[in-house]
Amino acid sequence: MPAVSATTPTIRKTALNAVHRKMGAKMVEFNGWDMPVEYPSAGGIIAEHNAVRNGVGIFDVSHMGDIRLQGPDALAAVQHISMNDASRLAIGQAQYSALLYPQGTFVDDVIVHRLGEDDYLLVINAGTREKDFNWVRDNTRQFKCKVENLSDDFTQIAIQGPKGVNLLQKLTDADLSAVKFYWVTRGSVCGLKNILIARTGYTAEDGFEIYVPADEATSATVWNQVLETGKEFGAIPCGLGARNTLRLEGSLSLYGHEISDTINVWEAGLGRFCKMEKPDFIGRAALETAKTAGLKRTLVGLEMIERGIARDGYKVQDDTCREIGYVTSGSYAPFLKKNIALAYVPPEFANVGSTVKVECRSQGVRAQVVSTPFYKRPKKS
């Protein structure tokens, strides 16, 4: 049992860092941030994961970044730098999208929110904040729009799970029943006026993300009030550990794992968010070529048949133990109670029902290709 390494003092902290530590959270370094991985007092990763599936869980996701594009050419700029069709967005609507390199590979995946007539907010990943902002700024210079990095302005709190709506409704004057999934609104939250409320998340569950001012006192007040109000719904604080297993069950991509600067849109299976028929965008030409050339590898879902847990980076082999691909994310799935993984393999191994081996600590463990997402939330009756 090697020692668990201590965190270094130079890394970044969210406004809620002291609150997490006070709650006894186990902290880890994630993409340069000192973040809670789990709250043992809340029951740990499995309990946190299942709270989100069955009730509600609360996450500090302030490490996520935010870029605002505002001005007469804001739509044209967003269209130029992202693969989904932002012209389809009504005011108050959001969409999953991605920023691409000219090669058709990923700068990052993003959620594009249309906040006003010519006003867009891109929510980006923690590990790619500076890279994304510089890239967006450099590639939108020809457009009449202001590009602002608002990453340090917000404490972003995710309230995730089927009871998230009941919880948040107690703290806001906004009518949440009128806010559909992937729509945003503004309202008072915990007495703070004009707070951005988005019905979005990264858990494959219904839920909300609220954007409150990033000062420590306000952030702590909101966090504590959300948890306190959430008690009757069984709300517990959740860390990055549960966030990862939740998104994995939902087959949601994580930058640096399923998507990166060497993986293209088709390989990642994200074609449905890429609108080739919209006006030209960065990466489009390369994607056109790649589509004609055909896939060399594709992302699949694996379920372990034999005993063993596939982990990020483990090799995937065919029946003759020839290396054919690699695992991008793998874990025990706390709600499904199975060992699952996402992996890149050649298309000939991608059919549902195909079997492969995952080299788990020098042992080939059999796994089966299954359809994704592994978990889909039940439709409301």
Partner 1 sequence: MPYPTDFKYTKEHEWIKVDGNSATVGITDHAQEALGDIVFVELPKPGTEITKGKTFGSVESVKAVSDLYAPASGTVAAVNGELATSPEKINKDAHGSWMIKLTLKDPNELNGLLSSADYEKFVAEEGG
Q: Which is nearer to partner 1, 46 or 286 (CB)?
A: 46
CB 64, min distance to partner 1, A: 20
Q: Are 59 and 164 in contact (CB under 8 A)?
A: no
Return the residues of window 311-340 that contact partner 1 according to CB under 8 A: 311, 331-332, 334, 339
Give the DSSP letter of residue 8: P
Judged by CB under 8 A, which of 45, 112, 123, 124 binds partner 1? 45
Q: Which is nearer to partner 1, 98 or 254 (CB)?
A: 254
How many secondary structure helices (H) and strands (E) does the chain include?
Answer: 8, 19
CB 336, min distance to partner 1, A: 12
Whole-angstrom Cα distance, residue 113 to residue 273?
15
b vs e for 118-141, b when ≥16 Cβ sit within 10 Å of the residue's Cβ?
Answer: bbbbbbbbbbbbebbbebbeebbe
**Residue 359 contacts partner 1 per CB under 8 A:** no
Whole-angstrom Cα distance, residue 360 to residue 310?
6
The stretch near partner 1 (CB under 8 A) out of 35-43, 143-151, 222-230, 292-300 is 35-43
Bond into 162 cis (ω within 30): no
Among left, alpha and beta (phi > 0; psi -120 to 50; other), residue 329 is beta
**Residue 2 contacts partner 1 per CB under 8 A:** yes
CB 156, min distance to partner 1, A: 23
Judged by CB under 8 A, which of 21, 24, 40, 323 binds partner 1? 40
The stretch near partner 1 (CB under 8 A) out of 37-45, 159-167, 196-204, 351-359 is 37-45
Query: How many of the chain's residues bind partner 1 (CB under 8 A)?
Result: 23
Judged by CB under 8 A, which of 361, 378, 380, 381 binds partner 1? 361
Terminal alpha carbon distance of the chain: 48
- The backbone torsions φ and ψ at residue 342, rounded to the nearest 5 degrees and listed phi first, read -110, 140
Judged by CB under 8 A, which of 150, 276, 295, 309 binds partner 1? 309
Q: Which is nearer to partner 1, 273 or 332 (CB)?
A: 332
Q: Which is nearer to partner 1, 262 or 363 (CB)?
A: 363
**Residue 241 contacts partner 1 per CB under 8 A:** yes
Judged by CB under 8 A, which of 11, 23, 31, 44 binds partner 1? 44
Give the DSSP letter of residue 207: E
How far is C-alpha 131 from the chain's CA centre?
17
Residue with tokens 């849109």: 265
Bond into 373 cis (ω within 30): yes
Judged by CB under 8 A, which of 34, 38, 132, 359 binds partner 1? 38
Judged by CB under 8 A, which of 116, 307, 313, 376 binds partner 1? 307
The β-bridge partners of 147 are 69
Whole-angstrom Cα distance, residue 292 to residue 53?
40
The binding site for partner 1 (CB under 8 A) comprises 1-4, 6, 26, 37-38, 40, 44-46, 241, 245, 307-309, 311, 331-332, 334, 339, 361
